[in-house]
Structure 1
Amino acid sequence: MPNDTASQRGPAPVLFHRAWAIAVIACLTIVAAAAFAAMPGILIDPLHTEYQWSRGSIGIAASVNMIVYGLIAPFAAALMDRFGIRRVALVAMLVIVVGAGLTTVMTDVWQLTLYWGLLIGAGTGSLSMTFAATVAGNWFVERRGLVIGALTGSSAFGQLVFLPALAWIVDNQGWRPAIVTLALTAGTMMVLIALILRDHPADLGQRPYGATEFVERPKADQGAARRTLRVLHSSVRSRRFWLLAGAFAVCGATTNGIMWTHFVPAAQDQGMSVTVAASLVSMIGVFALVGTVLSGWLTDRFDPRLLLVGYYGGRALLLAALPALLGPDAGVVIVSWVVMFGLLDVATVPPTILLCRRAFGADGAIVFGWVNAVHQVGAGAMAVFGGFTRDVTGGYGPVWMLAAALCGVAAVAVFSFARADESAVDGPTARTTPSGEPEKV
Structure 2
Amino acid sequence: MERTDVLVVGGGIVGLATGMALAEEAGLAVTVVETEAEVARHQTGHNSGVIHSGLYYKPGSAKARNCADGRERMYRFCADNGVPHDRCGKLVVATSESELPALAELERRGTANGLVGLKRLSVAEMREVEPHVAGVAGLRVSETGIVNYTAVSKVYAAKIAAAGGTVRTGTKFLGCKRESDGLVVETTAGTIGAKLLVNCGGLHSDRVAKACGVDPGVRIIPFRGEYYELTPQAAGLCKHLIYPVPDARLPFLGVHYTRMIGGGVECGPNAVLAFKREGYRLRDVSVRDLLEYARDPAFWKMAKAFWWTGLGEMYRSASRRAFWHALRKLIPAVKFGDLVPAGAGVRAQAVRPDGKLEDDFFIRRAERMVHVLNAPSPAATASISIGRSVANLALAELGRAPLREAPPPSFFGATRAA
Q: TM-score range by the shorter chain?
A: under 0.3
- Of Structure 1 and Structure 2, which has the larger fraction of its residues in helix? 1
The TM-score, its normalising length taken from structure 2, stands at 0.26
- Of Structure 1 and Structure 2, which has the larger fraction of its residues in strand? 2
